[in-house]
Structures are given as structure tokens and as C-alpha cells.
């Protein structure tokens, strides 16, 4: 159902089972999947793909050109995965040619009010961004990450799976998977034990992650020494290897 006051371009691909509220604007080169609800006063700009069963609340802006001086109007994209909820006044900008070319929000994300997702950001599955979380360009966030309210994340930062970032934090460096980070300049505060328990991680896995966390962040050895010691002393569970590989591949440096 499309409200008669909505403006929907004839070149937009809108499933018959989509609801579009009053005064919303859907531009050309947009596709919207079955079961999605677009609230009132929403702007969905060009080159946006919204999956099925999403909900976009009033006054959200999806697909506007990136806030990047080097952007010259090239054809870039926004993709939003199935079941994602975008709350009031959230802004999601398109990608850039000097990035990945696409800003991608994963499946079943929750973006609370006033969030900003800048160009070329990528989020995984079931990511939660609380109110006023702000993502600068080229940020990658793994599956099941929670980012608290009023958090500001620097360009090119990565946040690993199942991490928790506390509210009012500034995040200038990568945050490894499975940890808690918080603070004016975010610091690590151990494993995200509550989150891991809620997601059904076995105690044996949590114990091994605790060992590898201690080796990297509690005993004051170099990164290379920590990698060697972790591989020698900790069971090679997939989560442990993921933790080590995330740190090894960091370009911005690791939050400590």
C-alpha cells in the first residue's frame, strides 16, 4: 500500500507487499523487498536496495550522497539486509569509488534514532547501533556487535564479532572480537562475557578466549611474542584463531 501523498518514481522497483507512508519520497533506481514498511516523511535516494521485512521509521534518510569532498557524483550504492530496523532521523550515505562503492547494512540490524552511517561502511548480522552512534567512512563492524549511544567511531576502524562498545566512547583504533571496550578514548575491559553467554558460547570456549586475551593485553609482551605464545599455549579453537588473525591484520592498531 502506497499512501497517495507519497512520491514514488516510476523506475523504482517496489514489491506489491510494501507499505509506504505519507509524504515519503522514493527515487529512481531503488528496490524495496516484500514486507518492508517505509514510514512517513522518509527519503530513499537513488541506488538503494532495501531487503524484505525491513522497517524504516519517519524522517530517516537512506542513500544520500556521501559527505566526502572527493565524491563527484559517481554511481555508488546502499544495501540494507533483510529484517533491519532503521529508526527516526537516521542517515545512511552511499559508498564511494575510492572506497568499496557500497555502504552495506547486514541482516536484522537495529539502528536506533539519530544514528549516522557514512560512506563505505559495512555491518554484519544482528548489529545494534544505539541512539546517536556515529560511524565515519570505511568502517567494518562484525556480526552481533553492540555499539552504545553517543559513540563516535573513526574512519577505517574495524570492530570484531560479538564485541560491546560502551556509550559515549570515542573509538580511534580497532576493537578485537569478543571484548568490551569503553571510555572517552576507548580502552579494553576484558571479554564480553555476558554477551558470549547470551549467544550460547560454551564455557570451554570462553575460558580459552580468556587465556588468549590475557596473553595479548595483560602481561606486557610484544605483539609478535603474544602471537607466538598464544598459538603455543591456547587451544586452536575457531574463535581463538579469529581473535589472533583479527589482531594480526589490523592496519589502524588495536585498542588496549
Q: Give me the long-range contacts of 142-151 (CB less than 8 A, separation at least 24).
A: 142/177, 143/106, 144/195, 144/199, 146/195, 148/182, 149/112
Mean pLDDT for the chain?
A: 97
Strand partners, 1: none
pLDDT of residue 165: 98
| Complete domains list, the chain, with CATH | 7-138 (2.160.10.10), 196-248 (1.20.1180.10)
Answer yes or no: are the C-beta atoms of 138 and 99 closer than 8 Å: yes
Catalogue the active-site residues: 119-120, 137
Local confidence band at 73 (pLDDT 50, 70, 90 cut-offs): very high
Q: Report whether 154 contacts 172 (CB < 8 A).
A: yes
Cα distances (Å, whole numbers) of residue 74 to 77, 96, 178? 10, 7, 37
The label of the residue with cell 545512511 reads 92
Cα gap 213→215, rounded to integer Å: 5
What are the pLDDT digits (tens) for 103-153? 999 999 999 999 999 999 999 999 999 999 999 999 999 999 999 999 999
Rounded average pLDDT over 164-170: 98
Q: Distance between CA atoms of 163 and 146, rounded to whole angstroms?
A: 7
Residue 89 pLDDT class (50, 70, 90 cuts): very high
pLDDT in tens, 200-255: 999 999 999 999 999 999 999 999 999 999 999 999 999 999 999 999 999 999 99
β-strand 187-191 against 179-182: which pairing, if any?
Answer: antiparallel
Q: What confidence score (pLDDT) does residue 82 get?
A: 98
Confidence band, pLDDT 50/70/90 cuts, at residue 192: very high
Amino acid at each position: 500500500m502506497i499512501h497517495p501523498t507519497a512520491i514514488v518514481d516510476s523506475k523504482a522497483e517496489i514489491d506489491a507487499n510494501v507499505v509506504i507512508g505519507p509524504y515519503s519520497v522514493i527515487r529512481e533506481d531503488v528496490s524495496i523487498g516484500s514486507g518492508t514498511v517505509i514510514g512517513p516523511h522518509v527519503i530513499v535516494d537513488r541506488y538503494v536496495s532495501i531487503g524484505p521485512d525491513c522497517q524504516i521509521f519517519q524522517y530517516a534518510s537512506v542513500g544520500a550522497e556521501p559527505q566526502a569532498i572527493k565524491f563527484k557524483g559517481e554511481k555508488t550504492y546502499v544495501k540494507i539486509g533483510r529484517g533491519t530496523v532503521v529508526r527516526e532521523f537516521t542517515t545512511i550515505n552511499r559508498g564511494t569509488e575510492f572506497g568499496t562503492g557500497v555502504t552495506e547494512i547486514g541482516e536484522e540490524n537495529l539502528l536506533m534514532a539519530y544514528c549516522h552511517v557514512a560512506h563505505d561502511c559495512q555491518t554484519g548480522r544482528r548489529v545494534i547501533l544505539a541512539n546517536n552512534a556515529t560511524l565515519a567512512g570505511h568502517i567494518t563492524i562484525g556480526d552481533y556487535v553492540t555499539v552504545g549511544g553517543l559513540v563516535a567511531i573513526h574512519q577505517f576502524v574495524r570492530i570484531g564479532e560479538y564485541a560491546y562498545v560502551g556509550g559515549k566512547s570515542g573509538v580511534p583504533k580497532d576493537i578485537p572480537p569478543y571484548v568490551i571496550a569503553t571510555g572517552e578514548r576507548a580502552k579494553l575491559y576484558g571479554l564480553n562475557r555476558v554477551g558470549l553467554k547470551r549467544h550460547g558460547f560454551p564455557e570451554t570456549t570462553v575460558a580459552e578466549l580468556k587465556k588468549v586475551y590475557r596473553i595479548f593485553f595483560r602481561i606486557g609482551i610484544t605483539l609478535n611474542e603474544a602471537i607466538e605464545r598464544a598459538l603455543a599455549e591456547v587451544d586452536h579453537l575457531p574463535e581463538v584463531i579469529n581473535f589472533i588473525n583479527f589482531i594480526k591484520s589490523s592496519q589502524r592498531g588495536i585498542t588496549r
